[in-house]
Amino acid sequence: MSIDPQSVEAQASLALALVNRATTWMTSSRTADIARAKDLIAQSLAKSPRSVLPHYVNAHILRAEGRCGEAIPEYEMVIASNRNFAGAFAFLGQCKLLTGAIDETIPLEERAIRLSPRDPFIFNRYLFIGQVHLLQSRTAEAIIWLERARIANPGLVFPHIWLASAYALKDDLTRATAELNEARRLSEGTGRFSLNRVRRGNWGVSEIRSLYEATYFAGLRKAGMPEE
């Protein structure tokens, strides 16, 4: 069997690996990885503009660049071609949240869970459902889903940070402190553990950013996360 370096599927798969490495911060060359992924996908789409995988990866690249508004039609194109593509539903839900269509996020994440209940990354589905509940001040419901995310992947820092905020907003400072301490332990070696560092990310359009400020960031402040 010969190797075909011009294979659309191979190029798209390599691009997906690169962008996944970049979005999970598992690389010291994030900018270069995304640039290479973009080049590979441009080649793939030029050769096969109707292929589903290159469009899916292109949506990931756009999302990694903070361009969720442009990623949404790409994910929707993938879903139109394959109604069982769980990952496309999940990431579409995340982009809907960041672009302001927050009420569409949970149904999309739940659809992804139903389609792929044994997905090794199902903790991300739980995490985003918990986030939406917290942003909409359904704190008790948020805790249920965030605990599911923590149980599914206890070594991941994000469920612990979100739980610290949620428990603080519920005035359970004992649990909030415990979750914050665990998040700090898991974050060792990644830089300073502070609210300002957490707030640097892409938190969406202005109305969504305001929800994060009023709930998530306020909870972290109450839990005792330092500003600097």
**pLDDT per residue as tens digits for the range 80-118:** 999 999 999 999 999 999 999 999 999 999 999 999 999
**Which domains are assigned to the chain?**
7-119 (1.25.40.10), 120-228 (1.25.40.10)
CA distance 60 to 93: 13
Distances (CA, A) of 127 to 69, 169, 201: 21, 17, 16
The count of C-alpha atoms lying within 13 angstroms of the C-alpha of 179, restricted to the half-sphere facing its C-beta, is 28
* Averaged pLDDT, 146-166: 96
* Averaged pLDDT, 174-195: 86
**pLDDT per residue as tens digits for the range 185-228:** 998 866 567 899 888 888 999 999 999 999 999 999 999 999 98
CA distance 166 to 211: 14
As a whole number, the mean pLDDT across the chain is: 93
